[in-house]
Chain A
Amino acid sequence: DVVLTQTPPTLSATIGQSVSISCRSSQSLLHSNGNTYLNWLLQRPGQPPQLLIYLVSRLESGVPNRFSGSGSGTDFTLKISGVEAEDLGVYYCVQSTHAPWTFGGGTKLELK
């Protein structure tokens, strides 16, 4: 199975600060069809996860453009350019290139 390693496990930020979360895969997430199926989710406390980014860098409809995704192969990054209070929660990367689909362990974003 593909193992996704997220760092850091916890991130403390002030409002307005820019932060990045890393997601490293144990194998390439480039599919034979040329797509890379790496996605990012945010789970706020007591809520189901919500999709932020899919296909590495495509912003889901309605998601603020302070969120951006980048990367290729085995190394991926989610960046938040100017954290807002509503961004607090746990961020997960999830790959859907290889079966079984797998999630990273999560990165908790807290207020400093």
Chain B
Amino acid sequence: QIQLVQSGPELKKPGESVKISCKASGYTFTDYAMHWVKQAPGKGLKWMGWINTYTGKPTYADDFKGRFVFSLEASASTANLQISNLKNEDTATYFCARVAAIPFDYWGQGVMVTVSS
């Protein structure tokens, strides 16, 4: 069955970096784009951008340009999100979700990233 399985929760200090993974299974990885969505504690959903899983080209929403990097390990059907120079406001749950003709039909379970000194 189709699954997006994300890595486990992270506790980091300000200024550190974190890398979150999203492993896809049950479908052809390169047939679907992978999007990333942020949800701060008790808040709504915010679109971060997406990566073309065929070409590897990332596209970032304006608020996520600079410290955020989308990447792929295509041979492992995995999409990654790396955040550098972590700030307190990066504390959130980060979701991956696949998109093609039908958007957001499958989601990862989410990864809670806590940034605290």
Contacts and interface: CB of A to CB of B under 8 A. Distances in A.
Nearest to A100: B61
Interface of B: 35, 37, 44-47, 49, 59, 61-62, 95, 97, 99, 102-105, 107-110
Interface in A90-107: 90, 92, 94, 96, 99-106
A2 to B, nearest CB: 11
Contact of B47 (A48, A60, A90, A101): A101
Contact of A92 (B35, B45, B49): B45
Top 5 nearest A-B pairs (CB, nearest first) are A48-B107, A100-B61, A101-B47, A103-B45, A106-B44
A99 B99 CA distance: 14
Interface string A4-46: 0000000000000000000000000000000001010101000
B101 to A, nearest CB: 9
A49 B103 contact: no
